Each structure stands twice: as structure tokens, then as C-alpha cells.
Amino acid sequence: MPDADMPILFTYEWVPDFPRGYVRDLRIRWLFHEMGQPYRVETVTFAPKRADHLAMQPFGQVPAVRWRGRSWFETGAMLLGLASGHPTLLPEDRRADITEWLFAAANSVEMSTQPWILANASLAAPQIFGPAPASEVIERFAQRMKSKLGAMETVLTNRDWLAGGFTIADILMADVLRITGDKGGLEGYPVLQSYVARATARPAFLKAHADQMAHWHAADATRAAVA
Amino acid sequence: MPDADMPILFTYEWVPDFPRGYVRDLRIRWLFHEMGQPYRVETVTFAPKRADHLAMQPFGQVPAVRWRGRSWFETGAMLLGLASGHPTLLPEDRRADITEWLFAAANSVEMSTQPWILANASLAAPQIFGPAPASEVIERFAQRMKSKLGAMETVLTNRDWLAGGFTIADILMADVLRITGDKGGLEGYPVLQSYVARATARPAFLKAHADQMAHWHAADATRAAVA
């Protein structure tokens, strides 16, 4: 395959240990491995943000993707755009259901898990995540999260995947829930734990995770060589 | 138009004063008015959640829509699904850009504005919104919000709308920013203030807002008649 046809995935050149395995480029690596689509990685700086980075990704976040003459931002939009036409990851007759679950993951669910995750991160590392909320505030965040997790527990009780077979909706939802579970947020939700375990046992997830970790290890080696 | 072809928008039968004008059904009313599409309203209870409500909307939220043989949840997905084929609200050659901005509004932006809005709501009404975070925690929420608002201020500096002409992306982004602005969050962002003013001056927004307010007033009258 000529280089010009290969997607370029942009991620940070280096991050410290704590976000490794969680940087959102993993979702797009996962997609490409599910598609059997080779990709190559280019890097952007965390700070200061480069102009070419902000031109692709207005918030200066990662990932961004450049492929087929355009660049992409927001993982939900990338999943819909990059998987378009794929017969199993985004079957046209399930597009509406899949789109609903992508927004459910990106908005209803992650908007409820993120405050709880960040509050707990503040408890562990206030120098990075800012002052921790009081325990009764964190408890309120937990309640809001549990109302959404309880709904998802019901949804997934009698199905393996959200929209028929495994689709891009499961990439986003399972990754949002994986991050929550790794922080201890899925205790009491056995169905969601099984769902995350099922999703993250897929070879494409395992390759994506290994790819991301290899990227950070290579970045460490480059830093060590320069130092 | 026969009744069976008219979309049904589901919203709450009644809400107290504070969320009036902000309940998310407004976004879909706005869409229908932009489309010139008549719709009718049916109601669901806030609590307990009815089974037919949860069957359409797994989180028990509103809005839900039933149209053309299926039901819809998540406003981002509804906008993409219900406006499909519309030549100006969702032009096919801008679908990718529009999808990016819908996810940006639903995830990157609203995930940063919501914690700050809820924290301020807690300060005003802890009996409803739970205990308020300490001021230094709210300040951290404000910082996270401002990093996203600053990016959007740059994006909108030299354009009226996000993706060419006015599209469904502006319905979602402008409504997320309108709610933020009404809580005082857009101070120092004149471009975003202008964008919200421009969007909310559209006849379709004004009709949607009036429709929602009329719904609550009618609900008040029904309650008064029953009492």
C-alpha cells in the first residue's frame, strides 16, 4: 500500500506513566486493527500546542487522524467517518442505533464517569489534578455515575454487544467503561465488567493497547538517549 | 399530513421552574422548526420512570422521538438521524465536519461546562443539586471549562457558523453554550456571546423556546385544575 493511502494517527510524543494505556488514540488504533487497516503514527507536543496540531484538533487534544485528503478530530466522529462502509463495524442498517450508542458513550455515560474519575485522581495527585472535592461531593458524583451505569447494566444484561454484532459503538462504550472500571467504578456491575472483559479480550484491542504502550516505551528510550 | 407521519416528541409532563427553557427537548423542537416539520408532543413522568419510556430512552431522560417506524434517543444522534437528507441543515458534503462538531459539543465542550454549571447550581440549591464543592474546586472546574471555551472562541472568530451555513452542529453547540452563558460562563468570550445571540435570534429557536414554555404553562394549568 503506498504511503499516501495510509492513515496517519497523531498522538503525544510522550506522556508520564499515569495516562499510559488510556490516551484516547487507543480507540482509533483499536478501530484500525479491527479493520485490518495499517496506520502510522506521528506525534504532537503536549505543550506548547503546535499550530499544525491546533489546525487539525481545535482543543489541542489527541488523537487526530489524517487520511484520504482530510483530517479528523473527536473519536466519536472518527469512528463514524473512518469505519464508513465497513460491513460489520458500521453496517448501514444499524447506523442509527450505533450513532445513538456513540453519543450515549460520549455524553450521557462519560459525562457522568469523568467527574468521579477526576475527583478520585485529585485525591491521589492534587498537584496534577487540582484540589480534591470533599467526600460528600465525590459521593454525589458517584450517585450520578451510578444512575448511568445502572442503566447500562440493564441494557447489556441480555446482549453481548450494543447494536447486534460488535461495532464501533462498542469500541467507544467499552473504552469509556474500561477506564471507569480500572479506577474501581464498576464494582457492583458484573454485567458491565463482563462486557469490558469481552471487548478487551479482542485481538484488535490487545494489539492497540500494546501499540500504544510500545510508543511510550520508545519515547522513553529516545528521551534517555538525548539526556 | 396524516398523524402517523408526524414525529412524536417525548418530554416530561411537568418540571419545576428552574429547568424551564433548558430541557433538552428544546433542541429537537428547534430542529423541527428549522425543517418546517410539524410535530406533536407526548409526555413521560420524571419519576418513577415508565417502562415504555425506558424502552425508548435507556437512561430515562428526555427527549425521545418516535418517527418513521422507530424511536430515537441522544440529541446528537437524533439531529444526525432526523435531519438526514436535509440540504442545508445536514448537507452530505459537510457531514464529516458536522459530525465532528456534534461530538465536540456533546463531549469536549459539554463535559467541561457541565461540572461548573452543576457546582454553581449546588451553591444556589444544595437541597436539589447536592453539597457544593469548595471554591478552589469550582475554580478548577472553571479552568477546565475555559480551556474549551477559549478554543471555541478562536474557532468562531472568523465564521458565523461551525460548518459553512447554519447546520445541526450549531443547534447543539449553540445550545450547550447558551446554557453556559445563561449561568454566567461566557463572560470574557465576546465571540461566543455573539454566536449564541445569532443562533437564538433565529425564528426556529424562538418558536422552539416558546413551545417549550407553553408546554410547562399548560402543565401548570392542568395541575391547578386537578388540585
pLDDT digits (tens, 9 = 90+) for A138-155: 999 999 999 999 999 999
pLDDT value at A1 more than 80: no
The confidence band for A167, taking pLDDT boundaries of 50, 70 and 90, is very high
Of B74, B108, B151, nearest to A103 by CB-CB distance is B74
Q: What is the DSSP string of chain B?
A: --GGGS-EEEEES---STTTTTSTHHHHHHHHHHHT---EEEEE-SSSPPHHHHHH-TTS-S-EEEETTEEE-SHHHHHHHHTTT-TTTS-GGGHHHHHHHHHIIIIIIHHHHHHHHHHHHHHH-HHHH-SPPPHHHHHHHHHHHHHHHHHHHHHTTT-SSTBSBS-HHHHHHHHHHHHHHHTTTTTT-HHHHHHHHHHHTSHHHHHHHHHHHHHHHHHHHHHHHH-
Confidence at A3, pLDDT banded by 50, 70, 90: low
Q: Distance between CA A219 and CA A214 in Å, rounded?
A: 8
Chain B residue whose CA is closest to A115: B115
pLDDT digits (tens, 9 = 90+) for B85-97: 999 999 999 999 9
The pLDDT score that the predictor gives to residue A227 is 79
Which domains are delineated in chain A?
Answer: 3-86 (3.40.30.10), 92-203 (1.20.1050.10)
Question: Which stretch of DSSP H or E encloses residue A25?
Answer: helix A25-35
What average pLDDT score do residues A29-50 get?
97
User: Which stretch of DSSP H or E encloses residue A8?
Assistant: strand A8-12
* B201 contacts: CB under 8 Å, gap ≥ 6: none
Task: Tell me: pLDDT of A38 over 90.
Answer: yes
Chain A residue numbers with beta carbons less than 8 Å from the beta carbon of B136 are 130-131
Cis peptide before B48 (omega within 30 of 0): yes
| Confidence check: pLDDT of A221 > 90 | yes
Sheet strands (E) in A78-202: none
HSE on the CB side for B54, CA within 13 Å?
12
Apex B163 CA angle, A35 and B175, nearest 5? 100
Nearest residue to B179 via CA among B118, B108, B102, B130:
B118
pLDDT at A2 over 60: no
Q: Residue A45's closest CA among A8, A12, A10?
A: A12
Biggest CA-to-CA distance, chain B: 56
Neighbour-count burial for B163-177, b at 16+ CB within 10 Å, e otherwise: beebbbbbbbbbbbb
Q: What is the mean pLDDT of residues B6-25?
A: 97
Cβ atoms of B166 and B202 closer than 8 Å: yes
> Length of chain B, please?
227
Other CB atoms within a 10 A radius of the CB of residue B217 amount to 11
pTM of the model as a whole: 0.97
Supply the pLDDT for residue B4: 65
User: Average of pLDDT values for A163-184?
Assistant: 98
| Alpha-carbon distance values, A12 to A42, A96, A209 (Å) | 8, 33, 15
Identify whether the C-beta of residue B27 lies closer than 8 Å to the C-beta of residue B199.
Answer: no
Element (DSSP H or E) covering residue A12: strand A8-12
What is the three-class DSSP state of A11? strand
How many Å lie between the alpha carbon of B9 and the closest alpha carbon of chain A? Answer: 16
Between positions 103 and 142 of A, the ones with CB within 8 A of B are 103-104, 106-108, 110-111, 114-115, 130-134, 136-137, 140
- pLDDT for the residue B179: 98
Predicted confidence (pLDDT) per residue in B121-150, tens digit: 999 999 999 999 999 999 999 999 999 999
Neighbouring-strand partners of residue B163 = B165
Asked casually if ipTM beats, i.e. exceeds, 0.90, the reply is yes
pLDDT of res. A226: 86
Rounded Cα gap, residues A176 and A109, in angstroms: 8
Selected residues 41-100 of chain A with any CB under 8 Å from a CB in chain B: 54, 58-61, 70, 72-77, 80-81, 96, 99-100
Q: Residue A137: its pLDDT value, please?
A: 96
Mutate to test the interface with A, among B107, B147, B149 (most CBs of A within 10 A): B107
| B75 pLDDT more than 90 | yes
Q: Dihedrals φ, ψ of B179, to 5°?
A: -60, -45
Task: With cut-offs at 50, 70 and 90, classify the pLDDT of residue B3.
Answer: low
Say yes or no for a CB contact (<8 Å) between A77 and B108.
no
C-beta of residue A114 within 8 angstroms of C-beta of residue B144: no
- Among the partner-chain residues A73, A99, A107, the one whose CB lies closest to the CB of B100 is A73
Cβ burial, residue B73 (10 Å; 0-12/13-18/19+): buried
CB B180, CB B110: distance < 8 Å:
no
